[in-house]
Amino acid sequence: MGNRSIFQRLSRSSYPLVMGNARNDTPKTATASQYRALAEFRYHIRRYLHFSDDAAKAAGLEPKQYQLMLAVKGMPDDVTPTVSALSQQLGTRHHSTVELVNRAERNGLVKRFRDGTYVHVELTKKAKRLSREQSISGCRSCVLPALHL
């Protein structure tokens, strides 16, 4: 596989394998190397998710609440962490995100405030401290080799 990142190994012709074919429904035939690259990428994702869940539990956090903390902290500067934006980032339904924020708020991890019709979510000092302790640097061997970062 060499020194090329997983994204370099997944050529544009393999995008339908990963993302679906937006132009037409005709399936593309993937090469063996594209399947290997996709399998390797998914393997590294699973390793990271397993590491992340275990690290969250070791810190006394529920994995979903840790994912919420990451989503809030990792929002782009031009995106306000509202419940709607977090719902989209986490890939959950709005009402599920509201319940997740409720639980995280009860655990002292987030606080929310209303601005008109929007509900903004921000991390507490406790959550900021915990997120520093549980950073991705603890799992450089999980995902980063595949991405060559």
11: its two tokens: 């050529």
Query: What are the pLDDT tens digits along the chain (149 aa)?
Result: 444 444 444 444 444 555 555 555 556 778 889 999 999 999 999 998 898 888 888 888 899 999 999 999 999 999 999 999 999 999 999 999 999 999 999 999 999 999 999 999 999 999 988 877 765 445 555 555 545 44
State the Cα–Cα distance between residues 60 and 49, nearest whole angstrom. 17
H or E segment and range at residue 6: helix 6-9
- The reply to whether 54 and 67 lie within a common domain is no
Is residue 44 a contact partner of residue 143, using CB atoms and an 8 Å limit? yes
Is residue 48 a contact partner of residue 137, using CB atoms and an 8 Å limit? no
pTM of the predicted model over 0.85: no
Q: Give pLDDT, residue 64.
A: 95
- The reply to whether 9 and 33 lie within a common domain is yes
Number of folded domains in the chain? 2
State the Cα–Cα distance between residues 6 and 18, nearest whole angstrom. 12
- The reply to whether 29 and 90 lie within a common domain is no
Q: Give pLDDT, residue 56.
A: 86
- The reply to whether 79 and 129 lie within a common domain is yes
- The reply to whether 79 and 53 lie within a common domain is no
**Strand spans (E) along the chain:** 110-115, 118-123
Which of 87, 77, 83 minimizes the C-alpha distance to 105?
83
Q: Give pLDDT, residue 138.
A: 56
Domain that holds residue 55: 1-59+138-149
- The reply to whether 127 and 89 lie within a common domain is yes
- The reply to whether 94 and 106 lie within a common domain is yes
Cα angle 136, 142, 147; round to 5:
85
- The reply to whether 73 and 128 lie within a common domain is yes
Q: Give pLDDT, residue 82.
A: 96
CATH code where residue 102 lies: 1.10.10.10
- The reply to whether 68 and 127 lie within a common domain is yes
State the Cα–Cα distance between residues 127 and 5, nearest whole angstrom. 32
- The reply to whether 113 and 78 lie within a common domain is yes
- The reply to whether 24 and 73 lie within a common domain is no
- The reply to whether 77 and 90 lie within a common domain is yes
